[in-house]
Chains A and B, each alone.
Chain A
């Protein structure tokens, strides 16, 4: 059952974020997951959440300014994040840096499909409306903007509807 699903998903893989569906990942033995092994992700998440709030990336106003070319702020944030990321990935590749468990670092190669265009535009619409992409939604809820829980539930519903009809959509 699981094998069939994996093969089906692989045939039309458009989502390179779910690594456990990748071949290279499926072979890897998962090992025992303890609470402690998840703690590091919790800490990284907390730090990321604080950064998102303090840099006002979660601000509806900052997103509006970005799309109206009224402020450099968001371009500076995203631009310097990408430059830092590019340098980091190059360093990892060049010096063959391993994970803390000594594994080789795997970077997925993405393939083009039309979903990146259609889905990208639709997400852009939603980003300008809500003033939030998925990460900031979680952070906004944390700051006490509780109505964003409704946006998040709606986003989960959107993801679910995509899953339901994706074979009928152009990719």
Chain B
């Protein structure tokens, strides 16, 4: 069983399990699935600064902060007990492209050659880690949700705004990954 769990899980196992988050949260507490709002609650709890957008009773939404704490613990459990130490399987075309930028160590799901503390002081690392993080926080709230809130929860409830948002997530990702990121990785 543990050996089975240690393999990377196929999409047809993981996808339906992720989809089940929607009914599970609805049934156990009438909650809609969404992760990025946790970032808003953290702002409301720690640095509201009398901004109307952050002036609400965040404690009523505390379940969401408990949920993301759980995700972190889940990551810890999976990362320390359920990972095999095989290199990550990557499309050969991508491996070739990345080796052109000097990225050759593929032992971690988050490439350590790009994401490390010293890299924060380089332009490349600053753009990837701090710039990328900022865009994730700004963009998800501007859009009113992220992959979970719009792409999974919103589409599950057949919401047209969520479809529009999801198409824009993908369009933004395609533009960045294909047209802009190569220049950043060359830095």
Q: Which residues of A contact B (CB under 8 A)?
A: 2, 5-6, 8-9, 14-21, 30, 33, 38, 40-68, 70-86, 88-89, 91-92, 97, 99-101, 103, 105-113, 115-135, 137-148, 150-164, 166, 169
Contacts and interface: CB of A to CB of B under 8 A. Distances in A.
Contacts of B162: 110, 116
B169 A127 contact: yes
17 contacts: A42-B69, A50-B75, A52-B18, A54-B14, A70-B94, A79-B15, A100-B29, A107-B32, A110-B154, A110-B161, A112-B164, A120-B168, A123-B169, A134-B137, A150-B129, A160-B51, A164-B51
10 smallest CB-CB distances across A and B, nearest first, come from A45-B70, A124-B172, A49-B74, A142-B75, A119-B142, A84-B19, A120-B168, A85-B156, A158-B137, A123-B139
Given A17-B145, A110-B159, A154-B137, A47 B74 contact: yes
A9 B66 contact: no
Contacts of B62: 33, 38
Main SS of the interface on chain B?
A: helix
Main SS of the interface on chain A?
A: helix
B15 to A, nearest CB: 3
Contact-residue bracket for chain B: 35 or more
A91 B143 CA distance: 28
A14 to B, nearest CB: 5
Contacts of A57: 14, 18
A55 B119 CA distance: 27
Residue from A14, A16, A92 whose CB has the most chain B CB atoms within 10 Å: A16
Given A16-B145, A73-B11, A106-B30, 9 more contacts: A17-B145, A17-B149, A42-B69, A85-B22, A88-B23, A135-B148, A150-B120, A159-B42, A162-B141
A166 B139 CA distance: 11
A62 B16 CA distance: 18
B152 A78 contact: yes
B26 A105 contact: yes
A50 B9 CA distance: 11
A66 B69 CA distance: 27
A77 B16 CA distance: 8
Given A109-B159, A110-B161, A135-B147, A120 B139 contact: yes
B172 A125 contact: yes
Interface string B158-171: 11111011111111
